[in-house]
Amino acid sequence: MSITINYQQINKDLKKLAEDYRQSYDEIAKSSRNYVLANLKPGEQVPKEGIIYGDEYKEQFKTKANSIKSKALEIIDKAKTEMELKVSEPPSAEMTNLITVLNFRNDLTSEEVDNMLEQYSDNIQTFRAIKSIAKDKGIQTNVYSQADEILQSVSDLRRVTSREFDAFNTIKNNGFGAVGIFAYGIQVDSAFPVKNTAE
């Protein structure tokens, strides 16, 4: 059975978790500041916005942050496993017959090969077999698989997620703002492009 990977849903879920992470920090920072303000004594400095005050509130954020990070890593790990399985997915009987026929053909054109590569791009082994046959026959192809590059991007995204969704660093840096959300979104788009066909 062919493995289908929903890039669009994964992309959406990870970006939603990043937004939840940012909002959690902002809400807890606001609550902690309000508590400090409510107990402020004359002459004491007014607390700045965007900072989490007090160990209790910091622990509250750490618990929330760890939960969100676990969910994000679970999504990434599951997708990576599915992608690795997809890369090793064997050709169907129909695809195997096609590969056999192509090996014996001497009249293949670049356009015909490109059309087949696009048609069978969902099965990496078939895709690579067609590319190999074309290369052996001296045929230039213009369709490329992004499987290896995307797998590397997913590994990179996992490292970024572990680093960025870290409660200690977020508290130290006073939040995970719009720039952090934007930069993380770029990483997500690189690993799980919404228009990808899971080549």
Distance of alpha carbon 159 from the chain centroid: 11
| Alpha helix segments (H runs only) across 39-173 | 55-87, 93-104, 110-119, 124-136, 147-164, 167-172
For the stretch 121-155, pLDDT in tens is 778 889 989 999 999 999 998 888 777 788 889 99
For the stretch 26-44, pLDDT in tens is 999 999 999 999 999 999 9
Sign of CA dihedral 109, 104, 136, 83: positive
- How much of the chain is helix, strand and coil, in % rounded to 5? 70, 0, 30
Q: Read off the pLDDT band of 120 (50, 70, 90).
A: confident
Residue listed under structure tokens 């954020």: 61
> Residue range 36-60: average pLDDT?
95
Is 0.85 topped by the overall pTM? no
